[in-house]
Amino acid sequence: MVDKPARILLKLSGEALKGENSPFSPVSLQRICESIASVPIQWAIVVGAGNLIRGAGSQWLDRVEADTMGMLATVLNALALQSYWVSLGKDVLIQSAVDTQLTHPISPRDAQAALAEGIIVIFAGGTGSPLVTTDTAAAIRAVSIEADLLIKGSNVAGVYDGDPSLDPAAQLIQELTYDEFLAHRYGVMDQIAVEICREHGMPIEVFHLEQPDALASIAAGKKVGTRIQ
């Protein structure tokens, strides 16, 4: 057990919202939104755009243009999440590093005030700059709102000592220091993001987003994946 966090920032990948044949899965959206809404702590979300576009993987677009499209795509994902949470009776504030008429500008002070009132805060637009991952945006937002914990929901249970998709004997590492993660260059999270967290003492939990009761367990102070601190 660790201290129970009162304020968590969740890095939510765009892939988590993806349907089998479409960029959005109503089932996944509902499951994620209900899971978060059922855990009574302060929630901030940084959402990616991998269900719509991945700048680093684009073969036909200029990288800067692809990243710009990705930042705009995170706004679409934020609006989809907002719609589901509003249907559950939750208040939501979307702040975006990319200016739109549907979102508010990034303001850590306003975000903290909203969180204190029980409002879910979604950060969209990444950092507002190309060539920077949403992992890095998550680290920056977690530090700026003084979150107790940054958690990254992925499609693996945490950090492994090998590639679990290639090596059945790969073992889950339950705890790592920031320096150990950076030295081994584990690929599950952006190195710059981990470096920012190291500099500011922001603990990180990497876990499988579909693990039953994962969010409730983390909010209760339990480690469910790999803790980096």
Domains and CATH numbers, the chain: 7-228 (3.40.1160.10)
Is 69 exposed, middle or buried, given 0-12, 13-18 or 19+ CB atoms closer than 10 A? middle
pLDDT of residue 58: 62
Q: Note whether 212 and 19 are within 8 A (CB).
A: no
pLDDT of residue 20: 86
Quick one: pLDDT band at residue 63, thresholds 50, 70, 90? confident
pLDDT of residue 55: 60
Quick one: pLDDT band at residue 93, thresholds 50, 70, 90? very high
pLDDT digits (tens, 9 = 90+) for 112-130: 999 999 999 999 999 999 9
Q: How many other CB atoms are there within 10 angstroms of residue 86's CB atom?
A: 13
pLDDT digits (tens, 9 = 90+) for 126-184: 999 999 999 999 999 999 999 999 999 988 899 999 888 888 899 999 999 999 999 99
pTM: 0.94
Q: Is 213 helix (H, G, I), strand (E, B) or coil?
A: coil
pLDDT of residue 216: 96
Q: Which residues of 148-158 are buried (b: 16+ CB within 10 A; e: fewer)?
A: bbbbbbbebbb
pLDDT of residue 12: 96
Q: Are strands 120-124 and 149-154 parallel, antiparallel or unpaired?
A: unpaired
